[in-house]
Amino acid sequence: MRHLLDTHTLVREDALRILDVAEDMRDTQSREVKKLPTLRGKTVVNLFFEDSTRTRISFEAAAKRLSADVINFSAKGSSVSKGESLQDTAQTLQAMGADAVVIRHGASGAPHTLATSGWISAGVLNAGDGTHEHPTQALLDAFTIRKRFYGDHSRGRDLAGLKVTIVGDVLHSRVARSNVWLLTTLGAEVTLVAPPTLVPQDVTGWPVTIRYDLDEAIAAEPDALMMLRIQLERMNAAYFPTEREYSRRWGLDAARLQALPTTSIVMHPGPMNRGLEISADAADSPRSTVLEQVANGVSVRMAALYLLLAGERDTTNAEEDAR
Ligand code: NCD
């Protein structure tokens, strides 16, 4: 793998490889000394043109735990706010010797442009581009589902036979898009639930079932219910009457949590709007994987950085390096 730009073109074999290497990485994270020497001498640049808390620090922790040097570059307060282009920024990073660039950008396609432009030779990891994709989020979600359902027997397994229902602001969600592609590649059955106004127009070509009623979707007994954040910052129009009405019809509250099978898990990529798409009872219940998703994110990003930067070595070497 040269880059990690999307899950749409990520083949099953590569997806499982990332998840399995992430298992090895996770095993190292319960040790007292969490740091591995694997990427010593490599430089990872975090290039963030959009706000982020967990994704940026997760990539930073992942790179540092592999002993890479990390440079954090956030567009606010940089020359980008003075009008410097993506090309100039990229060429500056190239001149500084970046081996990998983790990029978050408001424009869908910016990571792809960076990877194919010839401006840099570094590997590019998409950390979220516009409403397009957020591949490491989907990988950490798949990892979390696999771990909850298969525990220590997760390695090598896909998600065949599992039903995942994704609820809410699908229209603006790169997390939903990356999950639709990855989860179906791994064999899961995906259902989307949203108000008609928040269902994207091109959804007819997606390998999913669409529903508009959350209670019916819950009655269909999903194994995982993934709640999405209402992305108020990307809404320039009214997509639903009021927040109260939204949470009454599409929010996960205590009663709906009760109606879910006891074995089902509740997911959310964060940041949560508590009381809007998810109630505090649901967010803090033992069935919620919100904090596991955050912890697993570091292992998955360690795996992605390792596979991009440590060259064409196989999983066996990852295990050896981790020892
Ligand atoms: C997501 C994002 O930025 O796309 N958050 C994240 O990476 N943890 C989802 C969101 O902002 O709703």
* CATH numbers and ranges of domains, the chain: 12-134+294-318 (3.40.50.1370), 137-293 (3.40.50.1370)
Q: What is the pLDDT of residues 98-117, one digit of tens each?
A: 999 999 999 999 999 999 99
Within a 10 A sphere around the Cβ of 112, how many other Cβ atoms? 17
For 218, left (φ over 0), alpha (ψ -120 to 50), or beta? Answer: alpha
pTM (two decimals)? 0.94
- Average the pLDDT over 131-143 and give the result: 98
pLDDT of 251 higher than 70 = yes
Q: Which of 226, 229, 301 has most ligand 1 atoms within 8 Å of CB, for mutation?
A: 229
Ligand 1 neighbourhood includes 123 CB (under 6 angstroms): no
How far apart are the C-alpha atoms of 4 and 136, rounded to whole Å? 8
How are beta strands 123-129 and 69-74 bridged, if at all? unpaired
Summary mean pLDDT of the chain: 93
Residues in a beta bridge with 69: 43
Number of the ligand 1 atom closest to the C-alpha atom of 54: 8
- Phi and psi at 160, nearest 5°, equal -55, 140
Give binding residues for L-aspartate as ranges. Answer: 82, 174, 229
Ligand 1 neighbourhood includes 172 CB (under 6 angstroms): no
pLDDT of 209 higher than 80 = yes
Ligand 1 neighbourhood includes 106 CB (under 6 angstroms): no
Number of the ligand 1 atom closest to the C-alpha atom of 127: 7
Q: What is the pLDDT of residues 35-86, one digit of tens each?
A: 999 999 999 999 999 988 899 999 999 999 999 999 998 877 667 766 678 8
